[in-house]
Structure 1
Amino acid sequence: MRDHGGDLDRAKAAFGGTDWIDLSTGINRMPYPVPPLPPDAWRTLPTASDVTALEVAAARAYGTQADVVALAGAQAAIQLVPRLRATGRAAVLSPSYNEHAAALTAQGWQVTQADGLDAMTGADLAVVVNPNNPDGRVWGADTLGELSSRVGLLVVDESFADPTPALSLAPRLHGLGERVVVLRSFGKFYGLAGVRLGFALGGPRTVAQVRALAGPWAVGGPAIAIGTAALADNDWQTAMAAQLAKDSARLQGLLQAAGWGIVGATALFVTVDTGDALAAQARLARAAIWTRVFPYSSGWLRLGLPGTPAEWDRLERALARQPE
């Protein structure tokens, strides 16, 4: 089943209202300040040197010596991954982001939902989201490196890893050959999902495959200019990671005070067990705050982090209000 956060049209249709706070996606609500863009970013096709500069900035930001290809979001990479190998048996560590299984199934893979890393052994292709969405589970680089020796191709989706770079497998990719592909999202940490930018990292042959499948001009000029600047801004990255860690702890405290148990958390979202997720979602929706429920759990509710003081105040008031 393909279902996602960010569906504010559905929220508005069901609850009405305006000025919604969308906490359903885990996208940073304190975005990177977009710099002035050169006119050529809009009026000309991206040059090879522009793309190379962006990919070099990404490699430096992710601390990797692996090859890097820029794409129109991590979602674009997810759509291409099933075409990197001949179809066979794929294992997706679950529960997790449902687009991985959906994209593999659509391309003819036999997909199994694995409940642990050991259950993935022998798969022709294995997918691990790290940190995991939505329960926040994490696995160390050594563990994932060892797993790569037991599967045909290991895909590690690090869309939520920017605030916790020590978790990333990217710095070790050069020693893993063609056995691993790492996916990175730009829009989540930098709060600029509309830019539609992401990356695939891996061995030269695999990354060349991805580049060929993506075709020419996979990323537009404005995304290249914004991404190149943001990925090189180490001061902003460090300060934002510290702020998000603080805010995630604050959100966990608010949700626990509301009587909900923490299922898991990252620096960009917190998932709680509310007992009745639809009722909890509706309770917050009446304050024009949209959250994420999941088809496989009647209790889990995921919230991204508010951005401004006004957003925090509104969430605190909604959580303090007694459920109807």
Structure 2
Amino acid sequence: MAMSLPIHGGDLAAAERRWGKPEHNWLDLSTGLNPWPYALPHLPAESWRRLPGEAEETALRASAAGAYGCAVDQVLAGPGSSALIQAVARSVSPRRVAVVSPTYGEHVAAWKAAGHAVSEVAIPADAAGADVVVLVNPNNPDGRQFTVAEIQALSERFALVVVDEAFADVAPDLSVASHVGAGHVGSGLMVLRSFGKFYGLAGLRLGFCLAAPELLAAVAAQLGPWPVSGPALAIGAAALSDRVWADASRAHLANAAGRLDAVLTKAGLHGLGGTSLFRLVEHPDAGNLYDRLGRAGILVRAFALRPTWLRFGLPGGEAPLRRLEQALT
């Protein structure tokens, strides 16, 4: 790839150091966030002034349980799914861990940092001998999908199966959240959910771990008291209870992803997959294209280990889409 290491998603300061300040504002397509975020509700002043209370925590857990289809005592809220990835890895005694790859790099990093023996496998069938299997569904960055039946079968074979459903809000039929703690099948099943991606509020730092209560207790011990702020509790509870907004957003995002596909295809980029929050494409000169977009003030996601890949998040409207189209062509 004709460039130095790719910039991490969302790091606009690093982008300016590399390419300079753009003539127009940055068009950040590097993160896979909903560019049409949930409208912030009115927050009581007390949510800013005092420590979060049990009532607010319970309200958020109830909203999450309703949205994800599990029981309230199977929900643990944390300060973002990245923090939960690390907490889960620290909550388990040293094991042999297989991470289905290529995928979000923080999984391998977190389990290694916690002292586990980690291997990367292309398919779950290659995880023989592991105690823990970690997979992302739908996968980041290629959108690969695993069915509910496939994940249930894995939970019967391995002591613990961790499923990162950070992008499952746009594909709810893939979720195994309703199966956590369901008897023998699912007792070793743990699901991670991201709030900020689908709701477009990544700065809120809110995520969820869904599992049987005995598994959640060990993760909660790693997070400590008051892991989620009062404002995040209130906003999360309101958003997760708003099913009308969620349904409308899924349809809107699917339409926007289709329009992005048309622009990428017209520019000669070969689609490899993705979700309705991001698209992965391949191009033999991806490194130079990444650099050209950066000079135009458009940041996309590149991959050091896959130098022909680029990932595009959704432009937030007609004008950003046309700006991307012009820069590509």
TM-score (norm 2): 0.94
| Candidates 70, 77, 82, aligned match of 2:84 | 77
2:58 equivalent to 1:52: yes
Q: How does 1:163-312 map to 2 (within 5 A)?
A: 163-175=170-182, 176-312=185-321
Q: Which amino acid aligns with 1:16?
A: G
Displacement of 1:13 in angstroms is: 1.0
1:236–1:210 Cα change, 3 Å: same
- Within 5 A, what are the aligned runs for 1:24-39? 24-39=30-45
1:109 maps to which of 113, 116, 122: 116
Partner of 2:99: 92
Q: Is the contact made by 2:76 and 2:208 (CA closer than 8 Å) also made in structure 1? A: yes
Structure 1 stretches lacking a partner, 5+ long: none
Structure 1: distance between partners of 2:100 and 2:186: 22
Partner SS, residue 70 of structure 1 = strand
> Which of 19, 33, 37 does residue 15 from structure 1 map onto?
19
Secondary structure of 1:45's partner?
coil
Instruction: Provide the rounded CA distance (Å) in 1 between the counterparts of 2:235 and 2:322.
Output: 31
Question: Per the alignment, do residues 177 and 169 of structure 1 end up closer, same or farther by CA in structure 2, a change over 3 Å counting?
Answer: closer
In structure 1, C-alpha distance between the alignment counterparts of 2:295 and 2:104, rounded to whole Å: 27
1:68 and 1:200 in contact (8 A); partners too: yes
TM-superposed deviation, 1:257: 1.0
Moved more, 47-56 or 176-185: 176-185
* Displacement of 1:88: 1.9
Aligned partner of 1:67 among 66, 71, 74? 74
1:66-103 Cα offsets, whole Å, 9 max, x none, are: 60000001011101111232112110000000000001
Q: Which stretches of structure 1, 4 residues or longer, exceed 6 Å deviation after superposition?
A: none
CA distance 1:33–1:254, change in 2 (3 Å): same
In the TM superposition, what is the alpha-carbon distance from 1:2 to its structure 2 partner? 11
**What residue number does 1:40 align with?**
46
Conserved in 1, the CA contact under 8 Å of 2:7 and 2:15?
A: no
TM-superposed CA distance for 1:3, in Å, is: 7.2
Once the 2 structures are TM-superposed, how far is the Cα of residue 4 of structure 1 from its aligned partner?
3.2
Are 1:186 and 1:192, in contact at CA under 8 Å, matched by a contact in 2? yes
Q: CA deviation at 1:122?
A: 3.0
8 Å CA contact retained: 1:28, 1:268:
yes
Identity %: 48
Other structure's SS at 2:31 match = coil
SS in 2 for 1:162: helix
* Secondary structure of residue in 1 paired with 2:307: strand
The 8 Å contact of residues 120 and 151 in structure 1, kept in 2 or not, is answered as no
Q: Please, which runs of 5 or more residues in structure 2 have no aligned partner?
A: none
CA deviations on 1:35-74 (whole Å, 9 max, x unpaired) are 1111011001000111011011001011123600000010
RMSD: 1.5
How far residue 178 of structure 1 moved from its aligned partner, in angstroms, is 2.8
* TM-score normalised by the chain length of structure 1: 0.96
Aligned residues: 320
| Letter of the structure 2 residue corresponding to residue 50 of structure 1 | E
Higher alpha-carbon deviation: 276-285 or 2-11: 2-11
Task: Tell whether 2:8 aligns with 1:4.
Answer: yes
Deviation at 1:161? 0.6
CA offset digits 1:177-207 (Å, max 9, x no partner): 4311100000000000000000000111001
Cα deviation for residue 269 of structure 1 reads: 0.2
Q: Is the 8 A contact 2:181 2:187 kept in 1?
A: no
Q: Which segment is superposed worse, 250-259 or 173-182?
A: 173-182
**Counterpart-to-counterpart distance in 1, 2:118 and 2:160:** 14
* Alignment partners' CA distance in 1, 2:128 and 2:154: 8
CA contact (8 A) 1:82 1:104 kept: yes
